[in-house]
Amino acid sequence: MQWTHIPVLAREITDFLITDPDGVYLDATLGLGGHTKFFISKLSPKGRVIGLDKDPGAVKMAVENVNDARLSAYNLSYLQAREALEKAGVQNVRGILFDFGLSSYQLDDASRGFSFLRDGPLDMRFDNTRGKSAADLVNNLPADELEDIFVKFADEHNAHKIALAICEARPILTTAALAAVIEKVCPRYGKIHPATKTFQALRIAVNGELEAVEGSVKILDSLTAAGSRVAFLTFHSAEDRIIKYALKDLCAAGGWKLLNKKVIEPVWDERKNNPRARSAKLRVAERIK
């Protein structure tokens, strides 16, 4: 099956990051390589992109999609970026993109279990070869811990009754079964499915996403030098809040400066053509010493 992925704010990110066509750049969340294609289009034959992704399938497809020797791709988390740079023989990079969004192909592939719109196993792991799945959490955690996950990671107002309903309905092994349990206690009103926030919260918990977002800022100094730039593309408020205040602290310490004081969001045309861009927010900073 062939998937396509429309990279969000790709032109804006490329304009911010690619300051030296001969430089080395890090696409810390490679996905299917959409942003990397834009980066490479602005690079000279000497320029390079190092791409990372926890999903081994994404790495394989990105290499095929980009089809350019200037991309070196590794099946690694961006928290292992230092290891990737050492593998590539690079000390630091001119620019970094952290794209915290879920790839379209992951969402659309029923076997990955990310979406309530497609029935499949309740998995949700970015790297589905290791770690606990969403089914492990749903079927083993006590109600109060499930409730905490739904509140902490998705601000779910119905967290208590959803958690109780899940515990009463166990075992729950598929995305459709979980969505049905939630819809039974939270009837659908309007366009937004009542399972939306629960699925988001489980995905974040399964993959340790917010801890990883916090970690992305902590590793910046080990990957960059003066003049390097970093772009953070977030898709929900918890991620953006972490990045906003982390960058504020970095800038206050004097080593970095913000390149956009006001968060950048997709224009109307992009949101219309790519609905998954609607919640995107971009923040960019440059290392000054």
Question: What CA–CA distance (Å, rounded) separates 236 from 48?
Answer: 30
User: Which residues are CB-contacts of 59 (< 8 A; sequence separation ≥ 6)?
Assistant: 30, 51, 53, 73, 74, 75
For the stretch 124-151, pLDDT in tens is 998 888 899 999 999 999 999 999 999 9
Residue 259's SS3 state is: coil
Residue 71: beta bridge partners?
49
How far is the CA of 240 from the CAs of 99, 109, 245, 289, in angstroms?
Answer: 11, 26, 9, 25
The whole-number pLDDT of residue 110 equals: 85
Domain ranges across the chain: 10-105+209-287, 111-207
Angular region, 38: left φ>0, alpha ψ -120 to 50, beta rest:
alpha
Task: Enter the CATH code of domain 111-207.
Answer: 1.10.150.170
How far is the CA of 87 from the CAs of 51, 75, 90, 177, in angstroms?
Answer: 12, 12, 8, 43
Which among 243, 239, 231 has a CA at the least distance from the CA of 285? 231
Residue 251's SS3 state is: helix
Question: What percentage of the chain reaches a pLDDT higher than 70?
Answer: 97
The one-letter code for the residue type at 14 is T
Instruction: Reply yes or no on whether the pLDDT at 105 is more than 80.
Output: no
Question: What CA–CA distance (Å, rounded) separates 8 from 282?
Answer: 10
Question: What CA–CA distance (Å, rounded) separates 84 from 72?
Answer: 9
For the stretch 205-241, pLDDT in tens is 999 999 999 999 999 999 999 999 999 999 988 899 9
The one-letter code for the residue type at 112 is R
193 within 8 A of 176, measured Cβ to Cβ: no
The whole-number pLDDT of residue 275 equals: 82
Question: What CA–CA distance (Å, rounded) separates 253 from 152?
Answer: 29
Q: Which CATH class is domain 10-105+209-287?
A: alpha beta
Instruction: Reply yes or no on whether the pLDDT at 1 is more than 50.
Output: no
How far is the CA of 133 from the CAs of 123, 138, 204, 206, 237, in angstroms?
Answer: 5, 9, 11, 6, 24
164 within 8 A of 128, measured Cβ to Cβ: no
The whole-number pLDDT of residue 5 equals: 66
Instruction: Reply yes or no on whether the pLDDT at 104 is more than 70.
Output: no
| Helix, strand, coil content of the chain in percent (nearest 5) | 50, 15, 40
Supply the DSSP symbol for 260.
Answer: -
